[in-house]
Amino acid sequence: MEINKEKLDEIILKYGRDKAHLLAIFQDVQKEYRYLPKEAVRHICMRLGMPQVDGFEVATFYKSFSLKPRGKHTVHVCLGTACHLKGGADVLLSFMRELKVKTGETTADGAFTLESVNCLGACALAPLVRVDEKDFGKTTVAQSRNIIRDFTDHH
């Protein structure tokens, strides 16, 4: 993976080259690449003057970072308590069947990455699915196909 070091430095400088902002730096970098390239982690650690192992510790501790490339769209199926009780697991299984991947995996064509999440904070509309930045409430097994189709058309 070819990373743009200037862009990285720009982000690092935005946060005052401060180790305390490591999470924020990672978040911004991940937004840029849709994942956190290992190369980027190494470069950031070098710039912040910290051991790589500390950078990778943070990158692997937090669920929101992914060191693996992600698909064009990320499907987050909520498995929070409210969603679980209203069939969130069935919705997740259905996405697995339709996309032919397991949670955490990306489809072969690179279009979708499937993830589960513990509550998206719209529990009254359970079960919830978030694709990229769009939320879908009261989803059903049947609807999962439509959601995939909606996003397949535009990419």
Partner 1 sequence: MALSLKQLDSITSAFNAKEQAYDKIIRVCCGTGCITSGANRVLEGVLTAVEREGLSSKVLVKKTGCHGLCERGPIVTLGNDEILYQSVGKRDVAADVDLLLKTVTEGKVADKLLFRDSARKEKYTSSLDIPFYKGQKRIVLAMNGLINPEEIDDYIAHGGYRAPFRAFQMTPEEIIDWVTKGGLRGRGGGGFLTGRKWSSARAAKGGLKYVLANGDEGDPGAFMDRSLMEGNPHAVIEGMVIGGYTIGAQQGYIYVRDEYPLAVSRLTKAIEQARDYNMLGHDVFGSGFDFDLEIYRGGGAFVCGESTALMSSLEGKSGEPRDKYVHTVEHGLWDKPTNLNNVETWANVPHIINNGLDWYTSIGTKKSTGTKIFSLVGKVNNTGLIEVPMGISLREIIFGLGGGIRGKRQFKAVQTGGPSGGCIPEQHLDMPVDFDSLTSIGSMMGSGGMIVMDERNCMVDVARYFLRFLTEESCGKCVPCREGTRRMHEILDRICKGAGKIEDLMHLEELGKALQWGAICGLGQSAPNPVLSTIRYFSDEYKAHIIEGRCPAGVCKEITTFTIMEEKCTGCMRCAAECPMGAIIGEKKEPQRIDDLRCITCGICYDVCSFDAIKIG
17 binds partner 1 (CB under 8 A): no
Give the one entry of ligand FES, partner 1, none that residue 52 binds, where binding means its C-beta sits below a cut-off of 5 to 8 angstroms depending on kind. none
Of the pair 73, 86, the CB lying nearest ligand FES is at 86
5 binds partner 1 (CB under 8 A): no
Q: Which positions from 52 through 81 interact with ligand FES, judged by CB under 6 A?
A: 78, 80-81
- The sign of the dihedral angle between the CA atoms of 101, 73, 30, 82 is negative
Give the one entry of ligand FES, partner 1, none that residue 136 binds, where binding means its C-beta sits below a cut-off of 5 to 8 angstroms depending on kind. partner 1
Using CB under 6 A as the binding criterion, the count of chain residues that bind ligand FES stands at 12
Residues in the chain: 155
- What gap in Å lies between CA 86 and CA 127, rounded to an integer? 6
117 binds partner 1 (CB under 8 A): yes
- What gap in Å lies between CA 138 and CA 146, rounded to an integer? 13
120 binds ligand FES (CB under 6 A): yes
How is 49-117 classified by DSSP, letter by letter? Answer: T--HHHHHHHHHHSTT--SS---SEEEEEE-SHHHHHTTHHHHHHHHHHHHT--TT-B-TTSSEEEEEE
Using CB under 6 A, pick the residue from 82, 89, 111, 131 that binds ligand FES.
82
- What gap in Å lies between CA 132 and CA 135, rounded to an integer? 8
Residues in contact with partner 1 by the rule CB under 8 A: 18-24, 26-27, 54, 57-58, 61-65, 79-87, 90, 93-94, 117-126, 128, 133, 135-137, 140-142
